[in-house]
Chain A
Amino acid sequence: MIRFSKANVTYPNGVSAMKDLDLEIDDGEFVVIVGLSGAGKSTLIRAVNGLVPLTSGELNVNGNDVHSLNRTGLRELRSDVGMIFQGFNLVDRTTVLKNVLMGRLHKVPTWRTLIGKYPQADIDIAARALERVEIIEKTYTRASDLSGGQRQRVGIARALAQEPSIILADEPVASLDPPTSHVVMRYLQQISRELGITTIVNLHFLDLATAYADRIIGLRDGVLVFDGPGSKCDEAVFESIYGRSLTADDTMAKQAAL
């Protein structure tokens, strides 16, 4: 379970990206966070695995008070939280398998990492992750030779290889075209449902959010302005989250039609 209470994040440059946030996310939930860019979506997601520290307030993830964790504790927490990025963050020069094995680093002794010889059990876990996102035939392909959608599936496989209880996805489809975006979103939804992994996804396309989310959280200027099921989220709600009327840029289908 993830619980924010009176959580605040203020960056050194004075920007306040999270204001008095109270939020509880249960195990196995599929949550989509929406809001304009700069609304604090990335900050919220990065707070969960401690990449962005809270300025004040409390954050509890799976029974750990994130703020009080030392370096080792933080690494342990992060090993239980998979992360998927907008820019995929793969090592382009190396193979798909080596990229996915990055998800096993927390379990592999350092000397084995240094010589690049991973235990068979970890390779098996990586193979299962690749199979789940149906890209196992690309195991020995260099990451740079993949298409955008394939890269993001490798990104998902890397997160899955951690065998996490939580997956954080920061704008996972922002660099992809609409059909590929749906493929990636379906994988995320399927994984969350079948493996019971709590999943938090940042999106800025409203139609994608309502299509996949069990629960939508709306942020505006670092403040939580909406929290409810995807079905309750209509245009009026989105207009209140965005603080303006909707345009074609806000939905993927309409933007694609332009």
Chain B
Amino acid sequence: MTTLDNGTNSTPAPTLPAKPAVSMFAIGTAIGAILLTIITAISVGFSLGEIISNFGRKNSVVEGLLNPDWGQIWSRRSRSAFIETLQLAVLGTATGATVALPLALWSTTFGNPNRALRTLVRSFNNVIRSIPDLLWALLFVTAVGIGALSGLLALFFFSIAVTTKLTSDTLDGIDMGPIEAANASGASLTQMLRSAVVPQILPSYTSFVLYNFELNLRASAVLGLVGAGGIGARIEFFRGRGDWEKLWGLIVMFFLVVFIVERISVTLRRRLI
């Protein structure tokens, strides 16, 4: 019987090249990260024992959680606050995402051949992105007063930041062929973007807008805490009064709404891509 020489056992194993040294940089970074965590934990006074003993103590917030006021779900005032939240999220997403599309297109080299203008658009996008949603809300509450308008403006800018960033990343990976074809046929810049670029990113863009809507819905709960309208204002109201049962009832309702909207959104987005 003949055996096939498969090179694994009959011949001596080939000598591998010298193993590269373990990167000292990686080891240093890992040790540094662990040390930093320990130091910060000590300096903020973190203590596991305290957390456990606090939970054991009689706590009206936790008691409220065990006994939420389901009546909040049917209360008229809570319902109108919810509707305001949904309206804020829809309007903020629609307006913000509409502005985000041209901003994303104008921040690319093919969509904005003028270097100075491109830098301007990119800087604008970066500035908007670096401000968190709650800070936008605070700014507008100070500027235009307490109410839903501040919330809407905050979500508008927050949506611009999110959708522009996600869309720009998609634009980096598109097929440049159709762009060359449109330019070779004598199309203007706007026509080229509309006919050669937008069809390529439209499914992703729509998905980002839906995702942005989910984010806005959640953000609108917090915006109310600083006086920017919506369900947050009502959460803040119950919190101020120490009405924990009602507060938890409201949060359960909020959870249900967010859960349902998210399921719908995720299903739609899956069909898009």
Contact = CB atoms under 8 A, between A and B. Distances in A.
Nearest to A104: B185
A17 to B, nearest CB: 17
Interface stretch (B78-86, B116-124, B198-206, B238-246): B198-206
B195 A91 contact: yes
Interface stretch (B172-180, B229-237, B247-255): B172-180
A85 to B, nearest CB: 7
B180 A91 contact: no
A110 B181 contact: no
Contact of B185 (A83, A88, A94): A83
B237 to A, nearest CB: 45
A26 interface: no
B199 A49 contact: no
Contacts of B178: 89-91, 102
Contacts of A162: 185-186
A91 B190 contact: no
Interface range, A side: 20 to 34
A89 B202 CA distance: 18
A118 to B, nearest CB: 10
Interface string B152-188: 0000000000000000000000010110111111111
Given A113-B191, A114-B194, A158 B199 contact: no
A105 to B, nearest CB: 4
B184 A91 contact: no
Given A91-B195, A110-B191, A114-B194, A102 B181 contact: yes
Contacts of B202: 93
B191 A79 contact: no
A40 interface: no
B93 to A, nearest CB: 21
A106 B185 contact: yes
Contacts of B200: 91-93
B203 A102 contact: no
Interface in B124-168: none
Interface string A128-151: 000000000000000000000000
A75 interface: yes
A101 B175 CA distance: 19
Tell me which of A80, A87, A93 has the highest count of chain B C-beta atoms within 10 A of its own C-beta.
A93
B196 interface: yes
A242 B202 CA distance: 46
Contacts of A90: 177-178, 181
Nearest to A110: B190
A87 B180 CA distance: 11
Top-7 shortest CB links A-B: A79-B186, A89-B177, A78-B186, A105-B187, A106-B186, A89-B181, A83-B184
Interface of B: 175, 177-178, 180-188, 190-192, 194-196, 199-200, 202-203
Interface of A: 49, 51, 75-83, 85, 87-94, 98, 101-103, 105-106, 108, 110, 113-114, 116, 158-159, 162
16 contacts: A77-B186, A78-B183, A85-B177, A88-B177, A90-B181, A91-B175, A91-B199, A91-B200, A98-B199, A102-B195, A105-B182, A105-B186, A106-B187, A110-B191, A114-B194, A159-B185
Given A102-B196, A105-B192, 10 more contacts: A85-B180, A85-B181, A91-B178, A91-B196, A93-B203, A110-B188, A110-B190, A110-B191, A113-B194, A116-B194
